Amino acid sequence: MPIRVLIYEDNAPLRDALSTLVDDADECVLVGAFGDCVRANDQVYQYQPDVVLMDIDMPGRDGIQAVMSIHREFPTVEVLMLTVFDDDDRVFRALCAGASGYLLKSTTPDQITEAIQSVYAGGAPMSPSIARKVIQTFPARAGQSANLDQLTARESQVLHYLAQGLSYKLVAAELGVGIETVRTHIKRIYEKLHVHSVVEAIAKYRP
């Protein structure tokens, strides 16, 4: 049976091009394509995709938030990020939220269809530059647990939410505090874990 693919991409020409690419691939069938992911969970339930292609920066709802929600409710659905963003924080927020792969929009059409097949088969396709970031972010972890033990309960909570893919603003909303308070907690997390970015902190936090 062909792989059922659902697309989320707010750029209409690119969404049309991706739709055509999926439709023309013998191994795939397009079940839907949308310009936002506000109702992603309802649409995943309705269209029953095997693989979701997900952009990050979309109107109404961030793609990483959609990934986290989809992964929680439909853990067998594979989500493949397809985005222009290659900064560390977005890459790791997406992967921590439950994405199974991460492609840049410079990826060729053939590589996209290969990645869809790969992620459906249980792989974790990534653009080469993204894979390198992932590898470089997981250094030797000697003393890691001891460092984590130094965090206060609230700092651990902040790090937990960040590892789930939440933005600073959403972490603040979850905790009922201001965004500057969240930034203060993150600064202290950096100091205690001896890291310099959210990505490094999440890398130490992940089991």
Q: Give pLDDT tens digits for 88-142.
A: 778 888 888 888 889 988 889 999 999 999 889 888 888 888 877 776 665 544 4
Per-residue pLDDT tens for 13-60? 999 999 999 999 999 999 999 999 999 999 999 999 999 999 998 989
Domain count across the chain:
2
On whether both 98 and 198 belong to a single domain, the answer is no
pLDDT given at position 143: 47
On whether both 35 and 78 belong to a single domain, the answer is yes
On whether both 30 and 118 belong to a single domain, the answer is yes
Q: Quick check: 125 and 80 in contact, CB under 8 A?
A: yes
On whether both 17 and 77 belong to a single domain, the answer is yes
On whether both 61 and 105 belong to a single domain, the answer is yes
On whether both 68 and 10 belong to a single domain, the answer is yes
On whether both 121 and 188 belong to a single domain, the answer is no
On whether both 130 and 149 belong to a single domain, the answer is no
On whether both 149 and 115 belong to a single domain, the answer is no
On whether both 131 and 43 belong to a single domain, the answer is yes
Domain that holds residue 84: 3-136
Per-residue pLDDT tens for 152-167? 989 988 888 887 777 7
On whether both 154 and 54 belong to a single domain, the answer is no
